[in-house]
Chain A
Amino acid sequence: GAGVSQSPRYKVAKRGQDVALRCDPISGHVSLFWYQQALGQGPEFLTYFQNEAQLDKSGLPSDRFFAERPEGSVSTLKIQRTQQEDSAVYLCASSSYSELINTEAFFGQGTRLTVV
């Protein structure tokens, strides 16, 4: 596709429900990042993939959060037993290089998750 695509755009989940958020990066992009953005704050790093390898998951807030990218392209962020504090916009970004130094990342439009 032309850009990074995330689905769904909006998700309302009941507390305790499991959710899965999908990210389709730009074809051929090596790097993939997930971020969580709470209202009024900047995006916060969750995890980083280089191809299918999850090289950094230090930002995942709890063991209820799990991300995968099994074939090095599409990625899924799964949240188990959702809580109200999980309500946020979840952003995905991809980059064509393995090191995000001098290169820009391309972001999706995000998935807005509301836990009720």
Chain B
Amino acid sequence: ILNVEQSPQSLHVQEGDSTNFTCSFPSSNFYALHWYRWETAKSPEALFVMTLNGDEKKKGRISATLNTKEGYSYLYIKGSQPEDSATYLCAFRGRTGGFKTIFGAGTRLFVKA
């Protein structure tokens, strides 16, 4: 059974704080890792697709790193804003397992003004 774990489950920060959270996935059989941001009452929105060990991706104040050998990815938010409040999901796809993408349970971020 493939397990994708995200931590922490939830996070409360003040506006302006920088924060990061973790996605752990099986280190063998890696194919791709996706990060999504999901605001309440909206659709999940793709942030990054990461495929290579050592990948670093950046989108504005949000960045992500990938370590496929040890099976983790970090998502960083610099200078959090209230509009960053959302659930951040990672999703793992292995080389085997067909087209199945396995999601973590998400990290719920609350940014207080």
Contacts and interface: CB of A to CB of B under 8 A. Distances in A.
B101 A45 contact: yes
A56 B99 contact: yes
Interface in B10-54: 31-32, 34, 36, 41-46, 49, 51
A4 B51 CA distance: 25
In the complex, which of the residues A45, A106, A109 has the most CB atoms of chain B within 10 Å of its own CB atom? A45
B103 A109 contact: no
B interface residue count range (under 10 / 10 to 19 / 20 to 34 / 35 or more): 20 to 34
Nearest to B38: A107
A40 B105 contact: yes
B43 A107 contact: yes
Given A4-B43, A101-B32, A107-B44, A56 B101 contact: no
15 contacts: A33-B101, A42-B104, A42-B105, A43-B89, A45-B101, A48-B98, A55-B99, A58-B98, A101-B31, A102-B51, A103-B49, A106-B43, A107-B36, A107-B44, A109-B43
Given A42-B106, A101-B32, A107-B43, 5 more contacts: A3-B43, A40-B105, A43-B103, A59-B100, A100-B99
Interface of A: 3-4, 33, 35, 40-45, 48, 55-56, 58-59, 91, 93, 100-110
